[in-house]
Structure 1
């Protein structure tokens, strides 16, 4: 399927979902007080986005997400490389990693608040904790997918470990790492918003929690729309980079 057909299919799907959203409260199937029509939520989102205070909250949340991903990506990649290269380390740490990966990270959020307060870096730290294991496991799987004969040839020609990592592992790993990065961004976004909703004075998570507690559903759904736009833009940007690196799979 070509790119134009994919875009057309996405547009049709989005139009159908938004049409259903608009129709449910208009037809009385859903309570407009609980589910405002899409046009109402969209108009509220535009009105709110014009406010400097809301743009500041969006910027805070975006910065927290970018900082968390910027830390988790290299840290998780390095740890995944070490575990994939060392069978002994993998046997020691794999059970702990799978345990931490499998349990909800939200149960650790109070610990982060008690030890780091409710500031910017607490959100970043919780975002890193929620995403680093995804990057780590993706990196380990990517390393194990590298053909051993490529590494053998590089070593035979006297390549150093840094050169092997840069010239052999990275080109082979990058497509898989980018797939892991897209998942990490999704989990990181959720983690940052959850941390803001739980205990914060700034950020979109704090605003959404406040709107929900005060039954301001039009603003609540407007905030969700704004966050969805950010998430889609980030996801599609990573997808575009992934598509450009797709030939490295060969």
Structure 2
């Protein structure tokens, strides 16, 4: 199937879903108190975005996501490369890390609240904690995916470790690393939202939680659309970069 046909099919499915969202509550198939029509939600979205309180909440959440991401990615990547490059360390820590990775990270949130309190530090620390494990596991797999023949050839030509890292590891790992960034941002964003909804006085997650608790469904769905647009925009940006870098892998 050609690309334009795929795009048309996607647009048709999206139009069908949005049309059903608008018509179902208006025709009585769904209780409008539970699912407001799409037009009402979009009108509420426009109203909410213009509110200074919502704008401030979006800025706080964005800052928390960015700071947590900046902290988690280098730490997780460095730990993943170290585990993959040093077999002895991998043999010791890999089983332990897989065990911790399999545990739902939400059970650790009360511990972060007790340590950092309810504030910016707690949300950033928790999101960085949940994200670092994803980056670590992916970075380990990325290093192990590099063909040993490439490294052997580079060393035989006298390449330094820095040259091997820059000209062998990075090009071979780039598609996996970009996929890792895309996935880790999802975990990072989810971590911030959980922390804001569970115990917070600021952020868009706190507002969405309040709207849900007070049964303000138009505001709730407007907040969900707002977050979905941001997440999709980032996801598609990284997907574009990933497609551009995929030619590096041979």
How does the TM-score come out when normalised to structure 2?
A: 0.95
What is the distance in 1 between the residues matched to 2:211 and 2:3? Answer: 39
Deviation track 1:186-240 (CA, whole Å, cap 9, x = no partner) reads: 1111110010011111101100111111111110111001011110111111111
What is the distance in 1 between the residues matched to 2:134 and 2:5? Answer: 31
The corresponding residue for 1:229 is: 229
What is the distance in 1 between the residues matched to 2:73 and 2:91? Answer: 23
The corresponding residue for 2:243 is: 243
The corresponding residue for 1:111 is: 111
Number of equivalenced pairs:
250
The corresponding residue for 1:146 is: 146
What secondary structure sits across from 1:245 in the alignment? helix
Deviation track 1:36-75 (CA, whole Å, cap 9, x = no partner) reads: 1111111100111011221111121112112222222222
The corresponding residue for 2:27 is: 27
The corresponding residue for 2:134 is: 134
Q: Compute the RMSD of aligned alpha carbons.
A: 1.4
What is the distance in 2 between the residues matched to 1:2 and 1:142? Answer: 31
Structure 1 gap ranges (5+)? none
Pairing of 1:162-181 with structure 2 (within 5 A): 162-181=162-181
What secondary structure sits across from 1:10 in the alignment? helix
The corresponding residue for 1:203 is: 203
Pairing of 1:16-95 with structure 2 (within 5 A): 16-95=16-95
What is the distance in 1 between the residues matched to 2:26 and 2:178? Answer: 41
Structure 2 gap ranges (5+)? none
The corresponding residue for 1:123 is: 123
How does the TM-score come out when normalised to structure 1?
A: 0.95
The corresponding residue for 1:191 is: 191
What is the distance in 1 between the residues matched to 2:244 and 2:54? Answer: 35
The corresponding residue for 2:13 is: 13
